[in-house]
Amino acid sequence: MVGHTGTGITVSAGNADGRKQLWHGRFASGPAEELVAFTESLSYDQRLMHSDIACSRAHVAGLGEAGLLDDAEVAAVLAALDQTGREYDAGQLAFEESDEDIHTAIERRVTELAGPAGAKIHTGRSRNDQVATAFRHFVKGELAGVARRIVELLEVLAERADEAGTGASAAYLPGYTHLQRAQPVLLAHHLMAHGWALLRDLERLGDCRRRVDVSPLGAGALAGSSLPLRPDSVAGSAGFSSRFENSLDATSDRDFVAESLFVLTMVGIHLSRMGEEIVLWSSSEFGFVRLDDGYSTGSSMLPQKKNPDIAELARGKAGRLLGDLTGFLATLKSLPLAYNRDLQEDKEPLFDAFDTVGLGLGAMAGLYRTLEFDRARMAEAADDPHAAATDLAELLVMSGMPFREAHAVVGELVRRSIDEGTDFAGLVGADPRLGEAAVALLEPGASARNRLSPGSAGPAAVSQQRARFEEALGSARSIWGIS
Ligand code: ARG
């Protein structure tokens, strides 16, 4: 027997008591051991247990409405479904060798519990629409969980941005392009940049959920059924917003898996970029942040070390998320309509992506909540007078000089200060085109406060941005029902 790995679940030793595969009628002999080992999905698709039960309840109620099961049969099957769920939760559901996936196991147990009524549960249903329905149901719940965790991280970023401030004592650091110091920016602005990226992920999750939220139940194996099924009401009672439009598409569509994987991978890539930044910032070379003991690790050999492992794994695990996404896209490519067993490969990558992103978001929220920013070190790096060069050029523009000319004037002063080893502020002060106002821009923090345009890194713009962020976060919260 293959090793089903669910916690607390017992597996019977074999098929000796005459348990049958779902398709046994057509076959003279049972499946080979290698076939079972290679094709089973029970060892991982147990995670769909409660989603399958919820969707099976809706299916059975629909069969009742259609008059295909009478009230007593409906009641018996619903009770058997509930009991199967309880047995599973208590670790008391014994799997059989013939249970190739969780859907088969549930049907088998329901039939044992409810007798002949139980044997009617698969009426008008194939595992092809059943598995797609249960998986969509599960994915909806998981997407909501990821949304909650993103909101938690966004709250941390917003809190840290508020603490960094926009007032006279606001924290600021060099902004970089090409990883070279470019222009000073407020720390609040920098933190919010990550916030906006994650907020877009939250919006993408919401878009994705709309397309996941469609029930394939009633599509049968591929073509629907001759029975008077009620896919609309079944969709509603399974908690879906609508039902499928085309049975071939419904049973074979896994866009919803690929799309969920993309959104999760995008979150993972954003966490990876944030992680890379923390790795840099916590190095002695930058020294912009110190990590909390609870969110960093030591070295087994080097006593002085404090390592940014969460940040590194946020970076490293983006690689596996990319693998989950691209591997599954490769599985989908070239599949003919409709269901093919290849589609069973949809589950493990998406389970992995949910687990990886969920844990990563939680760990990064803790890391950012407890980071200590070294404002003095950041300011020292940002107050490099050359970082104010653009402010000086813009000052000349305000007095009417064409920008290209202003760029050259300031560029030449920078070059002279470097070549001659002279003080930049001295050169600026002595230049009749620049003077007092220009020297004031070289004061500590002056350049960081001198970004004035909307959306920029300066105090007024960042305060306005912060308010807009709160608004956008509020609408995302209400879309996901997060208070
Ligand atoms: N475990 C299968 C899956 O996840 C269930 C569907 C099997 N359908 C079939 N016709 N063999 O895709």
Q: Is the CB of 127 under 6 A from ligand 1?
A: yes
Centre of ligand 1 from the C-alpha of residue 222, in Å: 12
> Measured between alpha carbons, how far is 352 from 264 in angstroms, rounded to an integer?
10
**Active-site annotation, residues:** 178, 299
Cis peptide bond prior to 330, omega within 30° of 0: no
| DSSP strand pairing (372-373 vs 289-290) | antiparallel
Query: In a 3-state reduction of DSSP, which class is residue 461?
Result: helix
What was the pLDDT predicted at 18?
52
Just give the CATH number of 128-380.
Answer: 1.20.200.10
The minimum-distance atom of ligand 1 relative to the CA of 135 is 4
Render 305-323 in DSSP notation, one character per residue: --B-HHHHHHHHHHHHHHH
Centre of ligand 1 from the C-alpha of residue 128, in Å: 6
> Measured between alpha carbons, how far is 375 from 377 in angstroms, rounded to an integer?
5
> Measured between alpha carbons, how far is 130 from 220 in angstroms, rounded to an integer?
8
- pTM (whole model) above 0.75: yes
> Measured between alpha carbons, how far is 1 from 14 in angstroms, rounded to an integer?
6
The length of the chain, given as a count of residues? 483
Q: How large is the angle between the packed helices 127-164 and 102-114, nearest 10 degrees?
A: 120
Centre of ligand 1 from the C-alpha of residue 88, in Å: 21
The alpha helices in 25-165, defined as continuous H runs, are 33-39, 42-45, 49-65, 71-89, 102-114, 127-164
Q: Is the CB of 296 under 6 A from ligand 1?
A: no
Nearest CA to ligand 1 atom 11: 341
List beta partners, residue 95.
Answer: 11
Question: What is the Cβ-side half-sphere exposure of residue 116, based on CA atoms within 13 angstroms?
Answer: 3
Centre of ligand 1 from the C-alpha of residue 264, in Å: 25
Question: What is the Cβ-side half-sphere exposure of residue 78, based on CA atoms within 13 angstroms?
Answer: 15
Record: fold of 384-473? Ribonucleotide Reductase Protein R1; domain 1 (1.10.40)
Pocket test for ligand 1, best of 101, 133, 348 (most atoms within 8 A of CB): 101
Task: Kindly report the backbone phi and psi dihedral angles of residue 449, in degrees, each rounded to the nearest multiple of 5, phi listed first.
Answer: -90, -5
List beta partners, residue 352.
Answer: none
Record: fold of 3-21+29-123? Fumarase C; Chain B, domain 1 (1.10.275)
Residue intervals of the chain classified under CATH 1.10.40 are 384-473
Per the CB < 8 A criterion, the answer to whether 192 and 462 are in contact is yes
Nearest CA to ligand 1 atom 4: 344
The minimum-distance atom of ligand 1 relative to the CA of 41 is 1
What was the pLDDT predicted at 331?
98
Pocket test for ligand 1, best of 52, 344, 351 (most atoms within 8 A of CB): 344
What was the pLDDT predicted at 271?
98
Residue intervals of the chain classified under CATH 1.10.275.10 are 3-21+29-123
Mean pLDDT by 10 residues, the chain (483 residues): 40 48 79 94 98 98 98 98 98 95 98 96 98 98 98 98 97 97 97 98 97 98 98 98 98 98 98 98 97 92 89 98 98 98 98 98 98 98 93 96 97 96 94 93 95 95 97 94 92
> Measured between alpha carbons, how far is 438 from 428 in angstroms, rounded to an integer?
7
Per the CB < 8 A criterion, the answer to whether 210 and 184 are in contact is no
Residue intervals of the chain classified under CATH 1.20.200.10 are 128-380
Nearest CA to ligand 1 atom 12: 344
Q: Is the CB of 215 under 6 A from ligand 1?
A: no
Q: Is the CB of 131 under 6 A from ligand 1?
A: yes
Neighbours of 371 (CB within 10 A): 18
Centre of ligand 1 from the C-alpha of residue 340, in Å: 8
The minimum-distance atom of ligand 1 relative to the CA of 343 is 12
Pocket test for ligand 1, best of 4, 48, 128 (most atoms within 8 A of CB): 128
Nearest CA to ligand 1 atom 7: 127
Per the CB < 8 A criterion, the answer to whether 58 and 230 are in contact is no
Find the farthest-apart pair of alpha carbons in the chain and give their distance in angstroms, rounded.
Answer: 100
Q: Is the CB of 122 under 6 A from ligand 1?
A: no
Residue 432 structure tokens: 């009749």
Q: Is the CB of 343 under 6 A from ligand 1?
A: yes
What was the pLDDT predicted at 19?
61
List beta partners, residue 185.
Answer: 173
Residue written as token pair 């109620």? 61
Centre of ligand 1 from the C-alpha of residue 41, in Å: 9
Query: In a 3-state reduction of DSSP, which class is residue 180?
Result: strand
Per the CB < 8 A criterion, the answer to whether 387 and 174 are in contact is yes
